Amino acid sequence: MAERIRLEKKIVTENDRLAAALAERFDEAGLLVVNLMSSPGAGKTSLLEQTARRLADDLRMAAVGGDLATDRDARRIIDAGMPCRQINTGRGCHLNGRQVAEAIEVYDLADLDILFIENVGNLVCPASFDLGEHRRVVVSSTPEGDDKPVKYPVAFRSADCVVLNKMDLVEATGFSPASFSGFVRDLGLDVPLLELSCKTGQGLGAWLDWLRTQREAVRCRAAPSPE
Amino acid sequence: MHEIALAHAVWRQVAAEMEKHSDRRLTQVRVVVGELSGADPESLEFALGLLVAESEWPHAAVHVRKEPVVLVCRTCGREYPMQEMRLRCPACGGADVEPVRGTQLRLESLEVE
The reply to whether A92 touches chain B by the CB within 8 Å rule is: no
Q: Hey, what domains does chain A have and what are their CATH numbers?
A: 16-216 (3.40.50.300)
The CA–CA distances, whole Å, from A191 to A19, A174, A181 equal 23, 25, 11
Which residues have a Cβ under 8 Å from the Cβ of A108 and sit 6 or more positions away? none
**Distance of residue B7 Cα from the nearest chain A Cα, in angstroms:** 9
Complex prediction ipTM = 0.88
State which fold the B3-112 domain adopts. Answer: hypothetical protein PF0899 fold (3.30.2320)
Q: Cα-flanking dihedrals φ and ψ of residue B43, to 5°?
A: -65, -35
Compare A34 and A227 and report the one with higher pLDDT. Answer: A34
> Among A160, A184, A69, which residue's Cα sits nearest to residue A120?
A69
Helix, strand, coil percentages, rounded to 5, for chain A: 45, 20, 35
Instruction: Chunk chain B into consecutive blocks of 10 residues (it has 113) and report each block's average pLDDT, rounded to whole numbers.
Output: 91 96 96 94 97 96 97 96 90 92 96 97
Q: Spell out the domain ranges in chain B.
A: 3-112
Q: Do B108 and A3 touch (CB under 8 A)?
A: no
pLDDT digits 0-9 by tens, A26-73:
999 999 999 999 999 999 999 999 999 999 999 999 999 999 999 999
Its sign, for the CA torsion A140, A145, A146, A148, is negative
Compute the half-sphere exposure of residue A78: CA atoms within 13 Å on the CB side of its CA: 11
pLDDT at A25 over 60: yes
What local confidence, expressed as pLDDT, does residue A220 receive? Answer: 87
Helix, strand, coil percentages, rounded to 5, for chain B: 25, 35, 40
The reply to whether A7 touches chain B by the CB within 8 Å rule is: yes
**Distance of residue A137 Cα from the nearest chain B Cα, in angstroms:** 17
What is the spatial distance between Cα A195 and Cα B76, in angstroms, rounded to a whole number?
A: 29
Q: In the beta sheet, which residues pair with residue B72?
A: B79, B98
